[in-house]
Amino acid sequence: MGDAIVQALPSAVVVALSPIAIVGTVLMLLTGRGRVNGTAFVLGWIVGLAIIGVVCLSIAGGGNSGEPTERDRWLSVALLAVGVLLLLVAIRQWRGRTREHNDVTAMRWLDAFGTFPPGKAAGAGVVLSVSPKNLLLAFAGVAEIVQTGISTEQQVVAYAVFVLIATLGIGTPLVIQLALGGRSRRLLEGLKNWMIRHNTLIMAALSFIIGVKLIADGLSGLARVR
C-alpha cells in the first residue's frame, strides 16, 4: 500500500496547492466567523473529494490478480490522456499569464467568500473540490493506486491518505488561525496576496510537472501490458 500512496502523492500535492481554494479559505478565516466558516469549507472540500473517490474507485477499482489485464491497459491510456491534458493546461496558462496587478484584479470575485455563512462555505468547499482539474487529478491518483495491484480495502485506505494530503493546502491556514488567533491576520494576508499574484505560474508549473509524470507512467503501463 505504501507504493500506491507514493505513486498517487504528486497528484494529491497538486490538488493541495490549488491557489483559488487556499485564497478562499483565507478570506473566510479573516471574517468574524472565520473559524466556523473555515472549518465548514474544509469539511465540504473533504466531502467533495470523497465523492470523487467513490465514483472513481467504483469505475477503476477492485482487486488485482497481479497479472496485466485489459483494465490495466485502459487505466494506462487514461493516465496518458490526463497527462496530455495537463500539459495543454500548463501551456495555456503560461501563454495567458498576466502581470501581477492583473492577476489580483482577475481574482477579485473571491472576495465574496468573505461574506458566506457556514452553509455556503461548506457548499463552496464541495464545488471547488470537484473542479475539472481536481477531477482529473483525483482520477489519476485512483488509477495510480489501482495499478499497484493492492486489495480493494487497501485502495480505499490509500485514497483516504490522498484526500488527507490534498486537504493540507486549505487546512494549513485554518491551523494557523486556530494556533495564532488574531496574530495570524498579517500572515494570512501575506499568504493570500502571494497566492493570488503567483496563481498562474504555480498552476502552470505544477500542471507541467505532473503531466510529464502521468505521461511517463501511462507509457510505462502500456509497455507492461503488451
Q: What is the tens place of the pLDDT at every residue in 46-55?
A: 999 999 999 9
pLDDT (average), residues 3-21:
91
Cell triple for 34: 472565520
Phi, psi of 185 (to 5 degrees): -55, -50
How many CA within 13 A on the CB side of residue 151? Answer: 2
Per-residue pLDDT tens over the stretch 101-122: 445 554 566 777 778 888 999 9
DSSP 181: G
Q: What is the pTM of this model?
A: 0.85
Residue-level pLDDT at 114: 75
**Which has more confidence, 27 or 45?**
45
> What pLDDT, on the 0 to 100 scale, is given for residue 102?
45
Q: From CA 29, how far away is CA 23, in angstroms rounded?
A: 10
Q: Give the per-residue pLDDT at 43.
A: 96
Q: What is the pLDDT of residues 123-173, one digit of tens each?
A: 999 999 999 889 999 999 999 998 888 888 999 999 999 999 999 999 999
Q: Is 31 exposed, middle or buried (0-12, 13-18, 19+ CB in 10 A)?
A: middle
The C-alpha cell that represents 56 in the structure block: 472513481
Query: Degrees (nearest 5) of the Cα angle 51, 147, 220?
Result: 125
- The per-residue DSSP string of 183-222 comes to GGHHHHHHHHHHHHHTHHHHHHHHHHHHHHHHHHHHHHHH
Please classify residue 65 by burial: count the beta carbons closer than 10 Å to its beta carbon, then call 0-12 exposed, 13-18 middle and 19+ buried.
exposed
